[in-house]
A and B are shown apart, each in its own frame.
Chain A
């Protein structure tokens, strides 16, 4: 089965999920080609060529220097029409979410996004993806004439299983005109420097939507104090302004790997999990036994956080002799 993997780079730096997606493709297909997109990307293409691949396409154009949805869609449409792969795989990044659905539409196809497993072969490919914020899985089947388009979830495949090799690099110059790229991007920026560095914390107590309202936060603050932990939160809490954005853990916040992560009232949407599943020990406290946070937890208590959190704070203080 022929597969094209679209690797992601920005300003000459690889997105690490590119390699996870390549690993997925190697497991799935016997003829895997990869595409790197940009301007002056020769070094990146050569680096990709050290993996076990049939070919690396260096998709180069002055108009592809900065990412735009219009530019990337037009360039990849031309490459796919030329190479006719059966399957096109992407890492499920913010950038891919911005253009891949548009690209799939050009082939009257639908992008199957956030895929965590693949079964079968080209004729009967089944793609497994998460539904309802990770509470359920769904098996998706794709029909239609065009290639199958799928984006792979962070952490679903391991980059260290990648096989090495020596592939040829071929340059593909798409036909692009400045007028067809309607988005004019400016340079990326960060908001004010972060005052809180959660990445350095040994213990993190993190709070989610289960807390209900801002006035309930002292329950969690007290638990954090008992543990001697930094306080963190999932996105909805920071969105509501209950805690500052700099305390947010997840794909749009910080990625942390403390020795202990205590998730209180966090259901565990994938955007949160990718930010904390590297923690050494994970504790989950949630009223819903089926919450996806229990997927990654080492220890769990199913119950009302307003009863469990104070009881836990008391027990921790007792254990520490404080």
Chain B
């Protein structure tokens, strides 16, 4: 979806997603990779948790093919009617009986980009968290993580487990699913739960009224035609109008 051209839905409240292809949210792919690497180092089990419509099952299978052990799919077609708090409540309710040592999320989604789900989950679960994480080191009952700050600065933070970490993209090299992995994934468990089984959904406090193309703040001169013509026009402007070459 990341590089697809987007069209507004007739409602004006979201995009028309009928023609789009879907894939795992990029920062989430890094969170999964970190989980798989931690399992390789320390043992344990990687459980994938995903809230979304039926088509999300394909993404879940992909995660299982990469090496996750089993999955929980909170199946709902109404995810877009929830806000961050509503989604985080569902996820937290599904996490609680699992009693995991560590919960990893991607830093933010490619669509809404709110970047909050992990932090809100940590608050709901009553566990510590940290965000924009590049590295995770397990030290007995604690973890020491490398957190990215602004302008090229970093910081190490230690906290007790269980904890929630929101992983930054680029923190690891992503693996591909092997043929063997894809075959094995078919036999792995995907447990489906409904929002009702998790205590129902809360009414959203933040709602999107309208989505639209941003208005341009700057007048951009666009050069048309074939590449050579457009390039020649651009160079002319750079030389005689902007005077930068």
Contact = CB atoms under 8 A, between A and B. Distances in A.
Contacts of A132: 6, 15, 110-111, 113
A141 B211 contact: no
Contacts of B216: 294-295
Given A97-B131, A303-B227, A320 B245 contact: yes
B43 interface: no
Contacts of A2: none
B243 to A, nearest CB: 9
A5 interface: no
A135 B6 contact: yes
B207 A280 contact: no
Given A182-B160, A203-B244, A294 B220 contact: yes
A58 interface: no
A65 to B, nearest CB: 14
B231 interface: yes
A303 B230 contact: yes
B205 A186 contact: no
A316 to B, nearest CB: 6
B214 A138 contact: no
A98 B132 contact: yes
A137 B211 contact: yes
B231 A311 contact: yes
Q: Which of B114, B120, B232 has the most CB of A within 10 A?
A: B114
Interface string A174-216: 0000000011111111110010000000010000010000000
B193 to A, nearest CB: 22
Given A143-B205, A311-B228, A190 B212 contact: no
Given A134-B214, A290-B213, A292-B214, A312 B208 contact: no
Nearest to B112: A131
B88 to A, nearest CB: 8
Given A109-B205, A139-B210, A184-B159, A227 B152 contact: no
A106 interface: yes
A111 B214 contact: no
Contacts of A137: 211-214
A126 interface: yes
B196 interface: no
Interface of B, secondary structure class, is mixed
Given A140-B207, A299-B238, A98 B214 contact: no
A241 B172 CA distance: 10
A201 to B, nearest CB: 12
A307 B205 contact: no
A209 B3 contact: yes
Q: Which of B112, B130, B149, B155 has the most CB of A within 10 A?
A: B149
Given A139-B210, A260-B238, A297-B218, A111 B116 contact: yes
Given A209-B3, A308-B230, A188 B153 contact: yes
Given A188-B153, A316-B245, A299 B221 contact: yes
Given A110-B84, A190-B154, A299 B237 contact: yes
Given A98-B130, A113-B116, A93 B154 contact: no
B238 to A, nearest CB: 7
B206 A141 contact: yes
The range of chain B's interface size is: 35 or more
Q: Which of A111, A132, A290 has the most CB of B within 10 A?
A: A132
Interface string A286-312: 001110101111111111100110111
Interface in B215-245: 216-218, 220-223, 226-228, 230-232, 234-239, 242, 244-245
A78 B65 CA distance: 47
A292 B221 CA distance: 15
Q: Which of A240, A241, A315 has the most CB of B within 10 A?
A: A315
B231 A308 contact: yes
Contacts of A251: 150-151
Contacts of A139: 208-211
Contact of B111 (A131, A203, A290): A131
A280 to B, nearest CB: 7
B148 interface: yes
Given A288-B5, A315-B235, A136 B213 contact: yes
A84 B218 CA distance: 39
A214 to B, nearest CB: 13
Nearest to A194: B152
B138 to A, nearest CB: 15
Contact of A238 (B85, B159, B170, B205): B170
22 contacts: A94-B148, A94-B149, A98-B130, A98-B132, A101-B123, A102-B123, A105-B120, A112-B206, A136-B8, A141-B209, A143-B207, A187-B155, A189-B154, A251-B151, A252-B151, A254-B151, A290-B213, A295-B218, A298-B221, A299-B238, A308-B227, A312-B235
Closest 8 CB pairs of A and B: A239-B170, A101-B116, A182-B128, A144-B205, A307-B227, A311-B231, A101-B119, A311-B227
Interface of A: 69-70, 93-95, 97-99, 101-102, 104-106, 108-114, 126, 130-144, 182-191, 194, 203, 209, 227, 235-236, 238-241, 251-255, 259-260, 267, 280-281, 283-284, 288-290, 292, 294-304, 307-308, 310-312, 314-316, 318-320
